[in-house]
Amino acid sequence: MRFVSRSANYRVVVRPDDEYEYYEEVKGNLMPKKVARPALTAEFRHGMVPPDESYAAMMHWSGMPSNRTDPERIDASGRSIPGIYGALPYQRPVTLRNSDNRIIGVTNPSRPDNRFSLFDTAWITDPDDRQYMEDALLSSDDYGLWFIKVEKEPIPVPWPNYDKVRRRGNKTIPDIIVERVAEDGYDLEHVIAYEMSKLNREDVLEALYALRDKMIEKEKTEAALQVEVA
């Protein structure tokens, strides 16, 4: 089983160091014997989540309020900021207010999916330990909040004929795709994830990343203007 966490450094001990005793018959006598079991820990690895699993994770966490005080999702007093979620295609700039409700600054945008990390139970060689790990992760209180099980499923095509976009006049394929995303309101992160998993064209991805940067910069500017007005 494969699991994705929304934290880059997620780690959970599902079984601490354990020692148990059983009795073994030796020459007609029952002799106690101790057996030690090492700790079993899920060490999630950052930077290993492929596009399809990253997309599945973003779809899971989009719209799920965070009830933890993550550094980039708390206000100046340490409380969770209403409306900021566990994972979004990117976190938009948010105005920060003090206890008197006065605006004191603007957060920097971030991309939570860049922090995703992966744990695969196939990394555990012992079959009993592997089963123990899977059962423990699936029944954990943090399942669904800090990590989820992911399946390798194809990312749906952003729009019909996306794969068949061709150069038109002076417009290149990246130009046409970016224009359609911007004008028709398609989910940019969906398009990027699909492009990475299916066609992986360097020029198209470069254009999509440039569009993302423009969108982030625009929202930073708008948030800054709100601070000035306040």
pLDDT in tens, 78-107: 444 444 344 444 455 556 667 777 666 655
pLDDT digits (tens, 9 = 90+) for 104-148: 665 555 566 678 899 999 999 999 999 999 999 999 988 988 899
Q: How far apart are CA 68 and CA 142, in angstroms?
A: 11
Closest CA to 193 of 120, 117, 113, 118: 113
Average pLDDT for the chain:
78
Average pLDDT over every residue of 15-24:
74
Alpha carbon distance 44, 119 (integer Å): 5
Report the number of secondary-structure helices (H) and strands (E) in the chain: 5, 10
Give the confidence band of 58 by pLDDT, cuts at 50, 70, 90. confident
Q: Classify 130 as helix, strand or coil.
A: helix
**83: which residues sit within 8 A by CB, 6+ positions away?**
65
- Residue 122: predicted pLDDT: 92
Q: How far separated are the first and last CA of the chain, in Å rounded?
A: 50
Q: How far, in Å, CA of 201 to CA of 195, rounded?
A: 7
Q: What one-character DSSP code corresponds to residue 154?
A: P
Helix, strand or coil, per DSSP, at residue 70: coil
**Lowest-pLDDT choice from 11-15, 59-63, 171-175, 195-199:** 59-63
**Residues 2, 149: Cα–Cα separation, whole Å:** 6
Write down the pLDDT at residue 136: 95
DSSP designation for 82: T
Strand (E) or helix (H) holding 120: strand 117-120
pLDDT, residue 36, reads: 72
